Structure 1
């Protein structure tokens, strides 16, 4: 993981440090935003292996020049910035809605039906939340989704809601026909979207099988704020919630999510409806669901936790080393922290197209294939160490 440290080259005494990114340390490009001593630093893209210089101006346009250097993996970079004396204005409706402190710890009942042929997915989400102060607007995060219908339910009485898409702020505003009093509320939204090719949100991945045919799967990568690309939600880490996820998929496909499969029932048109157990409270960026022509190893019981590896069929034979490492780690850390693993199962899922090394989705950890699948008889020590890490 790349670590970045920024420092000013002028004499104003402004200094600060940027956060570390979620990608590989060999990433070609990085960008960031840092707040320092009342200033807001907005950096342009910079290259980790070269020096780039430039100048920025303050918000008043007075030409207050700053040049900042940044070190990434011991490589020095210089990049132009703009220093803003005031933060941007809050997006509209933010203060008078259920968004924010007015909807803590909700519960989501999410149903998704992805079509791997057309790349379209249909969805329904029912959210149980709490209104802490009277409001007429419910605001959630949503991006690249089409809302077909929405309604609110208070005291068992449903009321239609007018959906307003705020694409610039990645928000969905639901306008109630009358004010919502403080208390429980149920939010119902029917929506649709498309599997994208950007390796984030709910996206399309593919591989070529042993017969030379392309096989398609749908998978997720929600960190940091891309759950909103798959379903309307409060897509912020602090807004932890429980999730009951249901997937409607072709009967020939394998599907997995964060929790154990609770039941599977036949559906129309050669499909099946797979319901997963409700998760523990967690952030939206840890939600995961993967569907495709994949194989799964028989579960190994690790002190009550079922452990499996999910991979494309022609690489399933490369899973034993990862299973051995995972068994050791589950037992070691449960003993070290004197605390059991919190999930009801652990699946390690190898994804053909994956932007990072791995993603720590609770109960459904996704990996780049080379970070999980390996043949110990032919692998080098660094390749084995990469899986262990």
Structure 2
């Protein structure tokens, strides 16, 4: 059965077997910005589609996996990384029950300087000081640098995410904030509403110091443009264009934009030039 085969190569990319499929990801990331690193805790709601399997293979790259646990089965007995295929295989002591299950993973990752995955970049603040920020570029196959996943466009799921960041920084993702918790130690955790079902490469995070300008479209979508501190005026033209364009699309196609907000963020170091995250 093809579901039991190891990852297959497709034009140099490893595509994962269909023995397990994702339903939703719950992802909590704690940034250690000055250390160029982050800690991740991931819980995946999934479906095991076949009988008699003891392992799950996910895409993962430049991540250090510290623990994995399958609910009702126990911890992984082995965790095997394949750097060539950018995969990680979790093997368990007994077979996994067919049907819905929960896989939990703890790991650490690098805020790299390669402008892919979850990466760091620098900017000059209003005082002329060089500062660090973090942002993501996951298209086409770099979500795996941020969290273990099925990093293939057709393997869609929902995402509920949180970011622990310095208290003075702005944290953004695809969806609006659902809650902010101040830890009292100079950090806060920003939690976000669940996303619609979507591909891994569309997920986005941005953490840094920003000013912003905002407007609401005629159908109630909050549109914001985030700029470097002290330069919100540089976002006004983009804001006017975005509001006019979204209203025009809503009217022309008679299909409303499905998300409650739309953010545009000026990133100082961004190899792709621009990226849509919906």
Superposition TM-score, scaled by structure 2 size: 0.92
CA change 1:268–1:171 in 2 (3 A) is: farther
Q: Which runs of 5+ in 2 are unaligned?
A: 9-14
The alignment status of 1:336 with 2:249, answered yes or no, reads no
In the other structure, the counterpart of 2:30 is: 113
**Pairwise CA distance, 1:193:** 0.9
> After superposition, where does 1:1-389 map in structure 2 within 5 Å?
93-94=6-7, 99-134=16-51, 135-153=53-71, 157-161=72-76, 162-267=78-183, 269-362=185-278
Distance 2:218 2:143 in 1: 30
In the other structure, the counterpart of 2:11 is: none
Distance 2:253 2:54 in 1: 46
Distance 1:102 1:341 in 2: 34
SS at match of 2:155: coil
**Pairwise CA distance, 1:341:** 0.4
- What is the root-mean-square deviation in Å for CA atoms of aligned residues? 1.8
Distance 2:24 2:218 in 1: 29
**Pairwise CA distance, 1:302:** 3.9
Superposition TM-score, scaled by structure 1 size: 0.66
Distance 1:278 1:100 in 2: 26
SS at match of 2:252: helix
Distance 1:222 1:128 in 2: 21
Distance 1:208 1:349 in 2: 16
Encode CA deviations 1:14-62: one digit per residue, 9 max, x unaligned.
xxxxxxxxxxxxxxxxxxxxxxxxxxxxxxxxxxxxxxxxxxxxxxxxx
Report the structure number with the largest CA radius of gyration: 1
SS at match of 2:114: coil
CA change 1:128–1:268 in 2 (3 A) is: farther
CA change 1:146–1:183 in 2 (3 A) is: same
Distance 2:188 2:176 in 1: 16
SS at match of 2:230: helix
